[in-house]
Amino acid sequence: MSQKNNQKFNGFDYVKSSGGIEEYVLLKNDLKVLVLEDHSAPVATFMVTYKVGSRNEAIGYTGATHLLEHLMFKGSRNFNKEKNTAIWTQLQNIGAQINATTWNDRTNYFEVVPSEHLERAIAIESDRMRYAFLRDEDRQPEMTVVRNEFERGENSPFDVLDKNIWATAYQAHPYHHSTIGWRSDIENVSTERLKEFYNTYYWPNNAVATAIGDFNKKDTLSLINKYFSEHTKSKNPIPGVYTEEPIQEGPRRTIVKRAGQTEIVGVAHKTPQGRHKNTYAFQLIGKILADGKTSRLNRLIIDKGLATSIFIYDFPFLDNGLFITYIFLTPGTEHAKVEEIILKEYNNIISNGVSAEELKRAKAQMRATVAFSRDGTYAVASALNEAIAIGDWTFYTTFMDNIKTVTNKMIKDTAKKCLVEDQSTTGWFVAVETTT
């Protein structure tokens, strides 16, 4: 089909294509749609990504996006227990996988279904986009479920340290609080406040529908048009987030002392927006530092018996993020000693860059990581979901091309700009004995 013929295809305007994926916009309400036919297996994934996450929350209703995600499964106009058409029943009876997730910049709802049942998934997502019940009698038990999730996180040394590092690194920007929110907000946010949040952000012009799998594109776009065109665009503009994090003017530290069996060091540095070219350099720096037994920190820390494992956090976000090296210490290892090794290796990269062999190996590791992570319709939709969240779905299709362009100079320049003391936040988790 030519671009000319695509332009008003089934009530859509054709926008662009990249990596075999085509983007359309539904003329009725500006819903963006991504489609990719994949006939390798008789399944299809349908996912709706809303461009709203914990960055859109504020004091008093942190965690609202996540709690609302839970309520979205409790029934809508056409899919509910009263009609014996509850969402879980409708989908699990046909062997579908169904879930939703919330993060800083987005919320997504998805179904993986036998291809012949794709219409049902599309109908469900359209119905709850604007007709979710959001009842107070459902909020109460779901609040308890979410609070239990919060408490499980509080019992994890890593989760607790990570939450405190982000809260210390970001003071103004809403990345300050975690997606789960603060306990008091989880317990006390009202159903009316959640409805207000829903009616602000859950609109077709703030969403992207992704369909990937064993189907005919024309038929699938026709179904999306059939169900989603009943919705109008939002009456008011979707509110943006205009709060910017002030420039950090010195190193920050946080120490968490709590019962636990694992002690941890986390060294974080602020990174640019996810679409910035430095993102690709950071992806490879992470590989060079910690991926595999020959990586730098594995040789310097793991092989020396100072730690049991290493984790590099380098996930890109819509706004600025954090590059964090987490080291899980062996008993008796001093936090300061490991922190010194991390910073010394950062300075080594700033001064000397990386070797040609390290860069070549890191790119090969990234190719393998990407290939394994994109196997299957859900995996592709999930990766597209994260690219949508940072503001450009073609981040997914162009990622490896951009990785290939990274040079030693780019890595040195990125490290020199970002891995500096004044942009750092260091966290220690110190295990203490509980008193009885």
The model's pTM is 0.95
How far is Cα 239 from Cα 199, in angstroms, rounded to an integer?
Answer: 12
How far is Cα 428 from Cα 17, in angstroms, rounded to an integer?
Answer: 46
- In which order are the strands placed within the sheet that holds 424-431? 252-258, 424-431, 264-271, 321-329, 307-313
Residue 4 has pLDDT above 50, yes or no: no
Could you tell me if 64 and 197 are in contact, meaning their C-beta atoms sit under 8 angstroms apart?
A: yes
State the distance between the two ends of the chain, measured CA to CA, in whole angstroms. 72
Nearest CA to 30 among 222, 213, 234?
234
pLDDT in tens, 313-360: 999 999 999 999 999 999 999 999 999 999 999 999 999 999 999 999
pLDDT at 434: 74
pLDDT in tens, 208-219: 999 999 999 999
Mean pLDDT value of segment 235-243: 95
Nearest CA to 146 among 206, 194, 76?
194
Nearest CA to 104 among 277, 282, 319?
319
Nearest CA to 226 among 128, 124, 117, 123?
123
Q: What domains can be seen in the chain, in order of their start residue?
A: 8-229 (3.30.830.10), 252-432 (3.30.830.10)
How far is Cα 374 from Cα 343, in angstroms, rounded to an integer?
Answer: 33
